[in-house]
């Protein structure tokens, strides 16, 4: 259960986040084995995900740079973490990251798509003219080890992000937070897609955890609850609405 005061700053989020115990994206050993089985059924290669040792090395390297005395871990949420964090936390705040834009620029062949019909999920693209609004979750120090392992498995399963600890402004002060930004060298990075091509992909793709369209819809709903504006997301949502879903 979240800390009793976890929603002190954002009471409107109570009841609007998937509890950690109910999250299908909390990649325990058992859950990861199910994903591996699904990948085999879909014909994905054995190396469809990074080896556990590489994921763990990335986690340790990044967490070793935490400089705050409390050793809590703040996590910046700008996509599915905004409604389904999948980890236990003691506090959530509004947050904004200057110099980055939220974009559907990461291909997926298992979560929200398949090898035959890949989907797209969010990443952060550098853009000096933009600021990405989202949430900051605080994982308390005693839980950082266990919870960060599950988070790294989820987000770094294909090595498609560049995780880093960056200064993250919040209304209650700036924190040092884990931020997952785009890895443009990754083969699944799709930063060259037009808005029309992006919308067409999202409208039709569907994977193990649901449709790509539903992912976008959930993002739109959570941004509305929080009163956050994102012109790119709104424009994309309008385009997708004009496309008939796949039968």
The catalytic site residues sit at: 155
What are the C-alpha distances in Å from 105 to residues 120, 186, 199, 223? Answer: 6, 11, 11, 19
Residues whose CB falls within 8 Å of the CB of residue 168, separated by 6 or more in sequence, listed in order: 74, 76, 95, 96, 97, 136, 174, 175, 176, 177, 179
Q: For residues 214 and 7, what is the distance between their CA atoms, to the nearest angstrom?
A: 25
Structure letter (DSSP) for residue 244 = P
Structure letter (DSSP) for residue 245 = P
């Amino acid at each position: 259960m979240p800390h009793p005061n976890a929603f002190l700053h954002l009471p409107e989020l109570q009841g609007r986040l998937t509890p950690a115990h109910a999250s299908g994206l909390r990649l325990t050993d058992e859950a990861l084995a199910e994903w591996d089985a699904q990948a085999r059924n879909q014909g994905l290669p054995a190396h469809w995900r990074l080896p556990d040792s590489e994921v763990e090395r990335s986690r340790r390297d990044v967490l070793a740079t935490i400089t705050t005395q409390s050793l809590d871990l703040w996590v910046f949420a700008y996509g599915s973490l905004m409604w389904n964090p999948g980890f236990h936390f003691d506090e959530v705040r509004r947050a904004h990251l200057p110099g980055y834009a939220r974009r559907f620029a990461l291909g997926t062949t298992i979560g929200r798509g398949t090898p035959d019909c890949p989907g797209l999920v969010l990443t952060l693209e550098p853009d000096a003219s933009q600021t990405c609004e989202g949430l900051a979750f605080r994982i308390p120090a005693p839980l950082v080890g266990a919870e960060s392992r599950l988070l790294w498995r989820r987000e770094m399963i294909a090595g498609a992000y560049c995780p880093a600890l960056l200064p993250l402004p919040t209304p209650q002060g700036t924190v040092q937070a884990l931020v997952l930004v785009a890895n443009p060298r990754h083969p699944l990075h799709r930063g060259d897609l037009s808005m029309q091509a992006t919308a067409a992909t999202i409208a039709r793709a569907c994977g193990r955890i649901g449709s790509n369209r539903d992912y976008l819809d959930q993002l739109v709903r959570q941004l509305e609850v929080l009163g956050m504006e994102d012109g790119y997301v709104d424009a994309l949502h309008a385009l997708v609405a004009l496309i008939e879903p796949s039968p």
